[in-house]
Amino acid sequence: MSVTADAPATLKKNYLTALKEAIDEEMTQNPNMICIGEDIGILGGAFGVTEGLQAKHGASRVIDAPISEAAICGSAVGMALAGKTVMVEMQFIDFISCGFDQIVNMMATYHYRTAGEVSMPIVLRGPAGAYSGGALYHSQMNEAWFLNSPGIKVICPSTPYDAKGLMKAALRDPNPVLVYEIKNLYRMRDIEEELPEEEYIIPLGKAKIRREGTDITLVTYGQNVYHCLDAAQKLADQGVSAEVIDLRSLNPLDEETIVNSVKKTNRVLVVNEAPRTCGFAGEIVARVNELCFEHLDAPALRLTRMDTPVPWAKPLELHVLPSVDQIVETSLKIVRF
Amino acid sequence: MSVTADAPATLKKNYLTALKEAIDEEMTQNPNMICIGEDIGILGGAFGVTEGLQAKHGASRVIDAPISEAAICGSAVGMALAGKTVMVEMQFIDFISCGFDQIVNMMATYHYRTAGEVSMPIVLRGPAGAYSGGALYHSQMNEAWFLNSPGIKVICPSTPYDAKGLMKAALRDPNPVLVYEIKNLYRMRDIEEELPEEEYIIPLGKAKIRREGTDITLVTYGQNVYHCLDAAQKLADQGVSAEVIDLRSLNPLDEETIVNSVKKTNRVLVVNEAPRTCGFAGEIVARVNELCFEHLDAPALRLTRMDTPVPWAKPLELHVLPSVDQIVETSLKIVRF
Amino acid sequence: MPAQKSAPPKTASPARPSDLLTKEEHLELLKHLYLARYFDVRLIKEKRRGRLTGTLYSSHNQEAILAGTLYALKSTDWISPIHRDMPAFFMKDLRGKWGQDDRIAMTVEEVCSQVWGRSGSPGRARDNWSHIGSKSGHIIHSTSMLAGTIPVAAGLAYANKLDGGDAVVVTYNGEGSTAQGVFHEAINFAAVHKLPVITIIENNQWAYGTPTHLEYPLEDFARRADGYGIPGWVADGQDVFDVYDKMVAAVEYARTGAGPSIIECKTFRAYGHGDHDDDRAARYRPTDDVNKGRERDPIAVCKRILVEKGMMTQAEAAQYAAEGKGAPQTKDEDFPPEVVEYLKRGVEYAIKSPLPDAAEGAMWVFRETN
Amino acid sequence: MPAQKSAPPKTASPARPSDLLTKEEHLELLKHLYLARYFDVRLIKEKRRGRLTGTLYSSHNQEAILAGTLYALKSTDWISPIHRDMPAFFMKDLRGKWGQDDRIAMTVEEVCSQVWGRSGSPGRARDNWSHIGSKSGHIIHSTSMLAGTIPVAAGLAYANKLDGGDAVVVTYNGEGSTAQGVFHEAINFAAVHKLPVITIIENNQWAYGTPTHLEYPLEDFARRADGYGIPGWVADGQDVFDVYDKMVAAVEYARTGAGPSIIECKTFRAYGHGDHDDDRAARYRPTDDVNKGRERDPIAVCKRILVEKGMMTQAEAAQYAAEGKGAPQTKDEDFPPEVVEYLKRGVEYAIKSPLPDAAEGAMWVFRETN
Ligand SMILES: Cc1ncc(C[n+]2csc(CCOP(=O)(O)OP(=O)(O)O)c2C)c(N)n1
Ligand SMILES: Cc1ncc(C[n+]2csc(CCOP(=O)(O)OP(=O)(O)O)c2C)c(N)n1
Ligand SMILES: [Mg+2]
Ligand SMILES: [Mg+2]
C-alpha cells in the first residue's frame, strides 16, 4: 500500500508507544506518581515501554529496583499508603509469582481491611501471552489467579487506542489494576493506528464489539481477538456471521455487552489462551449460563490453552494453544448443534 | 444416643486422627519419606496433625523448618529430585502464597519440563476453610490458583475415612498433590467414624455420592458437603429429592459421576466457599455445560463465597459465605425454573 | 557511597540517651510498662470470665521492647506492630500525652474494640487481632504473613523521603519471622536507598514451637544486618532504658539519612505462642529455661534502675507489685489506678460497641471513585 | 553449635590447591576456557548465519568461573547453572575425561540440541535455553525465576546428606539475583542445617540494565554471607586458578560437613544482557567501563600464568589467539582444532535433530503411575 501525502503513515502508533504515552502523560500530570520495576530506568524496560521516562522524570520517580518482586510490590503498597500513585512493571508478567503474596494478601485487601480508609492506586503491568516461543516462563496468562483474588481489577487491551485509554484509566483508578500487555502486539505493524491528539480515557469495564454478527458470539481478549477476527472472516466465507467481543476489561466485566450479544446470536464460544481449568473462559461460560441460559440454543463452549504449561518448541506450543482453525471448527460445531 | 457394649465409641476416629494415621503409616512403610514444615516436629503441628511423628521417626525425617515457605517448597523439590517422597505442611493453607512461585513454576512443571525424567512425589497439605472466624488469612480456600496451574493435583476430603484413604493415595502419587484439610472438621465429633483396621487407599479422582436424589444434583466438597446434606434434608421436607456429590478430588475430577447424576436429575447447583470469579464452582458449571448441556432443564448455577476476602466478625463472615438456607433457596429456584 | 561497615556507629550524644530523660519521663516509661502488662493481664482475665473469645498472643515479659522503642519516636513516624505487640497500638505517641488521647495515634477504645471484633475498631472488625492500623495515626496495617510489612515500610519510607519528610518507619518482628524472603528483599532495597527503616527483632527465643537454633545459625539475629552492611544493634529487651538507648541511636541514624538498621531485643516469651498453646508450650519448653527466661521481669528491671537513679524509693517501687507474676495471680491493685482505669475504659467501650452489620461484609472490596 | 564466625576458614592444604595440579591439568583448564569461549563464538556465528534463532546470553569473559568451579567437583556433585552458564552443562565432569563423553553429565550434542530447541535435548525442547538438566547427570533443571534453584539445591543437599552421600550442590547466580527472597530463605535453611551448598555469585557488574550499586549497598556481594555466619570468599573471576582455589576451599568446607558458603567471582559482562540487548547496552554502559571490564580476558590471564609457571612457552601461548576479541573477529583458527571439532559435532547433531512431535505438548503434565 502506498502512502499518500494527506495520510502520513508516521502518525500511526504501535501498542507499545500508546502505553508509553499513557504512562508518560500521567507521570507529567501527576507529580505524586512513581514508577518502580526492574531495569525500567537506565535501560527503559526490557521491551522499552518506559524508555525515556527516567531521563524525563528523574531517577527518584522512575526507580530501577533490585530483582525483588515481593519488595517491589510491597513497597508499592507503602508508597500508596503515603499517598502516591504507583506504576509497577513486572519484566515479564510470569515473574509476578515471586511477588504473589504481597499482591493478593497485602495490596488487594488493603482497602477492604481498612473499611475504606486506605486506597491503593497501583497499576501492575507487564508483558504477557504466548504464541511467541517464550516457553513456560515468558508466555503466561495467569490472570485467573488474580481474578480469584478479590480486590484487584484486571484488564487486557488489544489495540493501541485501547492500550492508551485503558492505561490512563488504570493509572487514575484508586484500586490495584493489573494490566496484561500482550507482548506480541507491542510492535505489531498491522494494528498500528492514529491516536487522538487530545487526551482520552477509556473507562474500565466496557467491552468492545470488534465485529458485528448474528449467528454466534465469540468472546475473547488479548491476542485471541485477532484469532477470532480471522476466524470470523473464515466463518463468513462459510455463511456464518460471528460477532466478536473484545472484553478489554475482565474485572470489572461488561456483562451487559455479552448478554445482549447472546440474546441476539443465541450461541457463544469463549476463547482465551490461559490454562483451561479455573480459567477466565470457564468463568464467562458460567456467567453466560447464569445470566442468559434461556437464550442459549447450544452449549456455551470455550477454547483455551490445554491444561499444560506453554512449551517452547513451535509445534508443541501451537499444539496446546487455541488456533484460528479450532475457533472456526468449534464455532461451526456450536452453530450446527 | 447411648453407647452399646458391642459398639465401643472409642474406636471412632476424627478427621485429624485419620490424617495423622495416614502420614504415620506412610512414614513407617516408606523410609524414603521426609516431612517438612513449620512447628511440625517439637510441637507436632499447630493443630497436632503431626503429633508424635518426630519422636517416632526422628528429627532428620520430620523437619522443623524456619518460617520460609518458599525454601520449604523449594527444598521439597530438591528432596524429590534426590528420590524422596516429601510431605510439606503449610501451617495454614493461606501461607502458601509465600511459597507460590516454587510451587506453580518449579514443582508443578518439573515433570513436564524434563519430558518425564523427573517425578515430584510431594504432598502439600494444610488447614483450610472459613466459617470459623479465622478472618482473611486463616480461612482461605485458594484451590483455584493451583487448579489453574497445570501439574498439581488437588484434593479435599470431608470425612475421616476419606481423609485417611486419600492422604495415603496422595503420599504414593508420583505427582505434587495439594490437600485442603478442612480445619473445622479436624475435631468435629459428628463426623467421627470407625476406620478399617486393614490398610486402604482411596484412588484420587473418584467422587462420592453422599446422598442419592432425583430432582437436583448438588456438587460440592469440603465442609459444604455438610451444608448440602443439611439442605438436602430440608429440601426433602419440601418434597425435593437432592443428590449430593462430594467431589473429594478436584484434579483429577470425576466427571463421570457428575454427568451421570445430571443425566438423572437434569439440574445442578455447585456449592463451594472460594471466591466466585474463576473459582472451581464456575469450572464445574462450565464442564457440566460442555458435557451434558442437553440434559439440563435449568441453568447450572453456583453458590460460592462472594468476591470478597473472608472477613472476621461473624455476621460479616456469614454474609459472604454460602449458607444452608441459600442452598435450599437456590435449589428450589432451579427446580422451579 | 554506601556504608561499607556494619559496626553500629556511635551515637552523637555523649551520655546514654536515657540518662537525658527527666525524672517524669523515667516514671512515665515505668507507667508504659504497667500499661502494656495490664492490657495483657486484663485480656486474659476477660477471656477467663468468658467475656472475650479468640486467641491472645501475650506480650507479657516483652513490654520493654514496645515501651522503649516507641518512646524514641515522633508522632509523624510510622510503626508496624505484629501479633505480640498489641499494646503498641495505643502506646504510640503516648509520650507526654497521658490523658490527651485525641492526639494519640490510636485510642485504647479502638484497640480494645479490635480485640473484641466490634464495629468500633478502625477496620470495623473485618480483620482480626493485630491486623489494625491507622493511616492518619501512621500505623501500617499488617496481614498475617510474617515480615510482610517490611517492604511496605520501605516503600513508605521511600515516598516520605522523596516528599522531604523526616519520618522513620519501624517494623516489629519476631526473630523467627526474619527467615522470610521478603525480610531480605525489603531490607536490601532499604539499604540500597538508605531508607529510614528500623527493623525491630523481638528475639523471644521461640517461634511458636521452634527454638531459635532451628531458625538461624547464629546466636544474635542482629547479625542479619551484616549481610547488608547496616548497623545491627543488640539490646537487652528486659531493660527499657537499654532498648530506648539503642532506639535513639537507630532513629538518629535513620533520620539523618544514613539508612536502615536492625535492633535485636533479647527477651523471652512468657507463655505459649498464643493462649491456645499454653498447655502444649509447658511440654515443649523446658521448665528451667522458662523460669530462667522470665527471671528478669522488665517492670522489676525498670524499678531497680529507677531506685538506683534515685528517682523512686524502695517503698514507692514496692507499691504496685505487678512484676514476677502470672496473669491469674496479678490483681488490679498491682497496678497504678490510672492504668487500670485507662484500660478499663477501653474494655468497657469495646464490649458495648456493636458488631458490624452483616452487609458490610460485601463492602469496600473496591473503592468506587477517586 | 553453628559457626559463629564468617571469616573464610583456611584450607587444610598448605599450598594453593591450583599449585598441586599437574601440567596436564593446567593445560586442560586452558582447554576448558577455549571450549567455553568457542561455544559462545560458534553460537553467535550460527545465529548470524541464520541457522539459529532465539536469544543468546553470552558467557564471554566469564568462562574462568565455570571452568574453575567445575574443575573442583566430582561427578556425584550437583550443579545448577543459569542463563549465562551454558557451557557448564557439557563441562561438568569433563575433568580428565576428554573424549569419553559417555561418562559425562551431559553431552555437547544434548546441550546444542537444547539451544536449537530440538527433540535431541533431554527436555525435548519443552523449555528453553539453559532450562535443561539431568537427574542422572546431577544437574538441576532451573526455571526462569532467578535464584529459584537455591532452595532446590538445599533440599537435594539435605536428602543426600541424610542418605550418607557426600555430594556438594553448587548453584550459579548472577549478582543481581541475590536480591531474591528465596536466596535468603534457602541459604538461611542451608546454614541452619550445615548443608553442603555452594552459592556462586557471578558478579559481572550488571543485572540486565541495572548496575550493582542499585542492587546491593556493598561492594562485595560475598558479604551477603556475613548475615548467615558462613564463609564468603571473593575470587578473581578472570583467573581460573584463583576461582579453582576458592572453590576447592568451599568444596572441602562443604564436604567435611561445615556447611554452606558463598563465592563471589568478580567479572564483567562482555556484551549486552542477551544478544538482543547488544545495541542498547552500548548506550547504557559507559564505553570506558566496558573496555576496562574486558581488559583481562580469562584466556589471556590463564596463558600468562601457564607461561609464568613454565608450563607453556610464549610461542605455544600465541598459537591460538582467541583472547581479547569479539565473536565476529574470532576465527576457528584461534582455537585448538579439537575444540572446534568438539563443538561442531554438537552443532551438527542439533541441526539434524528433528523438532519434537506436536502431540508431545500435551504429554507429561502428570506422571501416570508410580
Ligand atoms: C508467612 C507466615 N508463615 C507462617 C505463619 C504462622 N505463624 C504465625 S506466628 C508464627 C511464629 C512466629 O514466631 P516469631 O516470628 O519468633 O514471633 P513470636 O510469635 O515469637 O513473637 C508462625 C509460624 C505466618 N503467620 N506467616
Ligand atoms: C524472578 C525473576 N525476576 C526477573 C527476571 C528477569 N531477568 C532475567 S535475567 C535478569 C538480570 C539478571 O542479572 P544477574 O543476576 O546479575 O545475572 P546476569 O544476567 O548479569 O548474569 C532479569 C532481571 C527473572 N528471570 N526472574
Ligand atoms: Mg519469637
Ligand atoms: Mg549480573
| pLDDT (tens digit per residue) in A15-64 | 999 999 999 999 999 999 999 999 999 999 999 999 999 999 999 999 99
Mutant choice from B145, B247, B278 vs A, greatest count of A C-beta within 10 A: B278
Q: What does the mean pLDDT of chain C come to?
A: 94
Q: Mind telling me how many Å the CA of D190 is from chain C's nearest CA?
A: 9
Q: What is the pLDDT of residue C101?
A: 58
The amino acid that residue A154 corresponds to is: V
Q: Which grid coordinates are listed for C327? A: 496473669
Q: What is the pLDDT of residue C369?
A: 75
* Least confident segment among A121-135, D4-18, D203-217, D331-345: D4-18
Question: What's the average model confidence in pLDDT over D44-63?
Answer: 95
Please state, in angstroms and as integers, the Cα–Cα distance from residue D145 to each residue in B273, C70, D142, D262, following that order. Answer: 32, 39, 8, 20
Q: Which grid coordinates are listed for C333? A: 491493685
Percentage with pLDDT > 90 across chain A:
96
Pocket test for ligand 1, best of C62, C146, C210 (most atoms within 8 A of CB): C146
* Least confident segment among A143-152, B101-110, D8-17: D8-17
For residue C268, is pLDDT > 60?
yes
Q: Which CATH class is domain B208-335?
A: alpha beta
Q: What is the pLDDT of residue C370?
A: 53
For residue A86, is pLDDT > 50?
yes
Question: What's the average model confidence in pLDDT over B79-100?
Answer: 98
Tell me the pairing of strands A193-194 and A12-13.
antiparallel
Q: What is the pLDDT of residue D100?
A: 74
For residue A173, is pLDDT > 60?
yes
Chain C residues within 8 A of A106 when measuring between CB atoms: 143, 145, 148-149, 152
Across the interface, of D179, D188, D213, the residue whose CB is closest to C188 is: D179
Of the CA atoms within 13 Å of residue C13, those in its CB half-sphere come to: 16
- pLDDT per residue as tens digits for the range D259-288: 999 999 999 999 999 999 999 999 999 999
For residue A8, is pLDDT > 90?
no
3-state SS class at B245: strand
In this prediction, residue D1 has a pLDDT band, given cuts at 50, 70 and 90, of very low
In this prediction, residue D292 has a pLDDT band, given cuts at 50, 70 and 90, of very high
Fold agreement between A11-195 and A208-335: yes
Helix (H) or strand (E) holding B27: helix B15-29
For residue A146, is pLDDT > 80?
yes
Q: What residues are in contact with ligand 2 under a 6 Å CB criterion?
A: A 38, 67, 69, 91, 95, 98; D 84, 144-146, 174-177, 180, 202, 204, 206-208, 269, 273
Contact (CB<8Å) B114/D123: yes
Contact (CB<8Å) B83/D360: no
- Residue-by-residue DSSP string for A40-56: SSSS--SSSTTTTHHHH
Strand partners, D131: none
For residue B170, is pLDDT > 50?
yes
The amino acid that residue C13 corresponds to is: S
Determine phi and psi for A242, rounding to 5 degrees.
-105, 135
Mutant choice from C150, C158, C192, C195 vs D, greatest count of D C-beta within 10 A: C192
State the Rg of chain C over Cα.
20
Contact (CB<8Å) A67/D118: no
Q: What is the pLDDT of residue D101?
A: 58
* Least confident segment among B17-31, D91-105, D145-159: D91-105
Q: What is the pLDDT of residue C303?
A: 98
Across the interface, of B39, B314, B316, the residue whose CB is closest to C126 is: B316
Question: What's the average model confidence in pLDDT over B250-265?
Answer: 98
Q: Are B153 and D366 in contact (CB under 8 A)?
A: yes
Q: Which grid coordinates are listed for C310? A: 534515685
CA dist., res. A301 & res. A280, Å (int): 12
Chain D residues within 8 A of B105 when measuring between CB atoms: 143-145, 148
In this prediction, residue C1 has a pLDDT band, given cuts at 50, 70 and 90, of very low
Q: Mind telling me how many Å the CA of C141 is from chain A's nearest CA?
A: 8
For residue C136, is pLDDT > 60?
yes
Higher pLDDT, A8 or B81: B81
Alpha-helical runs (H) found in chain D: 23-48, 63-70, 86-91, 108-116, 150-162, 181-192, 240-255, 278-284, 287-293, 298-308, 314-319, 337-352
Give the ipTM: 0.97
Contact (CB<8Å) D159/B119: no
Q: Which grid coordinates are listed for A39? A: 531495569
Q: What is the pLDDT of residue A100?
A: 98
Q: What does the mean pLDDT of chain A come to?
A: 96
Q: Mind telling me how many Å the CA of B308 is from chain A's nearest CA?
A: 5
| Contact with chain B for residue A147, Cβ under 8 A | yes
Contact (CB<8Å) B150/A97: no
Residue C358 is given by DSSP the state G
Give me the total of CB pairs closer than 8 Å, taking one residue from chain B and one from chain C: 118
Of the CA atoms within 13 Å of residue B214, those in its CB half-sphere come to: 1
List the shell of residues around ion ligand 3, using CB closer than 5 Å: C 174-176, 204, 207
Q: What is the pLDDT of residue A1?
A: 38
Tell me the pairing of strands A268-275 and A216-220.
parallel
In this prediction, residue C103 has a pLDDT band, given cuts at 50, 70 and 90, of confident
In this prediction, residue A6 has a pLDDT band, given cuts at 50, 70 and 90, of low
Q: How far is the CA of A308 from the centre of ligand 2 (A)?
A: 25
Across the interface, of C182, C183, C219, the residue whose CB is closest to D4 is: C219
In this prediction, residue D5 has a pLDDT band, given cuts at 50, 70 and 90, of very low
Q: What does the mean pLDDT of chain B come to?
A: 96
Residue from B57, B111, B138, B227 carrying the catalytic annotation:
B138
Q: Please report all neighbours of B, defined by 3+ CB atom pairs within 8 A.
A: A, C, D
Interface of B with A in 251-270 (CB under 8 A): 251
| Contact with chain C for residue D214, Cβ under 8 A | yes
User: Which residue has a Cα nearest atom 18 of ligand 2?
Assistant: D174
- pLDDT per residue as tens digits for the range A51-67: 999 999 999 999 999 99
CATH T-level topology, domain C17-357: Rossmann fold (3.40.50)
Please state, in angstroms and as integers, the Cα–Cα distance from residue D226 to each residue in A15, D183, D190, following that order. Answer: 47, 14, 14
Catalytic positions of A, written as ranges: 138
Contact (CB<8Å) D367/B174: yes
Domain spans in chain A, listed from the N-terminal domain onward: 11-195, 208-335
List the shell of residues around ion ligand 4, using CB closer than 5 Å: D 174-176, 204, 207
Q: What is the pLDDT of residue C3?
A: 40
Question: What's the average model confidence in pLDDT over A288-305?
Answer: 96
- pLDDT per residue as tens digits for the range C317-326: 999 999 999 9
Report CA torsion sign: B258, B264, B266, B271. Answer: negative
In this prediction, residue B4 has a pLDDT band, given cuts at 50, 70 and 90, of very low
Q: What is the pLDDT of residue C99?
A: 75
Q: What is the pLDDT of residue D228?
A: 98
Q: Which CATH class is domain A11-195?
A: alpha beta
Length of chain A: 337
Q: What is the pLDDT of residue C14?
A: 62
For residue D14, is pLDDT > 70?
no
Q: What is the pLDDT of residue D98?
A: 82
- pLDDT per residue as tens digits for the range D79-116: 999 999 999 999 999 999 987 756 789 999 999 999 99
Q: What is the pLDDT of residue D369?
A: 75
Residue D125 is given by DSSP the state T
CA dist., res. A98 & res. B97, Å (int): 9
Of the CA atoms within 13 Å of residue C334, those in its CB half-sphere come to: 21
Q: Mind telling me how many Å the CA of C362 is from chain A's nearest CA?
A: 9
